[in-house]
Amino acid sequence: MRHVYWIGGGSGAGKSTVARRLAGRYGWRLYSTDDAMADHARRAGAAEAPLLHAFLAMDMDERWVRRSPEEMLETFHWFRGEGFGLIVEDLLRMPREPCVVVEGFRLLPHLVRPLLPAPGHAVWLLPTPAFRRTVFRSRAATGQSFLQRTGDPRRAEDNLAARDDLFTLRLREETARLELPSLTVDGTLTEDALTERVAAVFGR
């Protein structure tokens, strides 16, 4: 998959923005794994995605309020790689030209690594806890947060933030172990500067 470039990382790190900018700059196709989630949830059966189907059966409070961040991390289907094969299926159906930039938190390093022609075809953006909380609070202020549909939005926000902190830490450890590129996102880089850093990883 030499024509595919991957941008993974934690939520709120700017993956979508950077991928969109690179796609526009180089004329690449853009594939958002977030946009494919509903389709993949329909395509994944209970046998191949048991955690997904368990999650779908939960109400909002069970998903985000009543469970610990650790349990949320270990049982969240996309964090465990369920549905990753459907991402690969979608990419294989696309033409090999132009190149494709794939983005989303579902791109787990150990799943992407075997598909890379070289480490410089992928990068993970790792937001600091403070930066991610700032992003999420700005989204909540504009009414974009799905957590408002829970019985305790504040607790749900705290649980989600703690879960995502744990997930980002896991990504940091995994990219280091697999010797894959990563960039820390803490708000000190502008969107332009972050895009240039990712382009440099891709050799562009």
Over residues 36-85, the pLDDT tens digits come to 999 999 999 999 999 999 999 999 999 999 999 999 999 999 999 999 99
User: In the prediction, which pLDDT does 135 show?
Assistant: 77
pLDDT tens-place string over residues 90-134: 999 999 999 999 999 999 999 999 999 988 999 999 999 888 888
- Which residue carries 């991610």 as its tokens? 132
User: In the prediction, which pLDDT does 134 show?
Assistant: 81
- The predicted model gives 22-47 an average pLDDT of 96
Q: How far is CA 155 from CA 2, 161, 167, in A?
A: 43, 10, 18
For 104: left if phi > 0, alpha if psi spans -120 to 50, otherwise beta; the answer is left
- Which residue carries 């796609």 as its tokens? 23
Instruction: Flag whether pLDDT at 189 surpasses 60.
Output: yes
Which one-letter amino acid corresponds to residue 166?
Answer: L
pLDDT tens-place string over residues 135-188: 777 766 555 578 889 999 999 989 999 999 999 999 999 999 999 999 999 989
Residues 6+ apart with CB under 8 A from 60: 146, 149, 150, 151
- As a whole-number percent, the residues of the chain with pLDDT over 70 amount to 97
Instruction: Flag whether pLDDT at 32 surpasses 70.
Output: yes
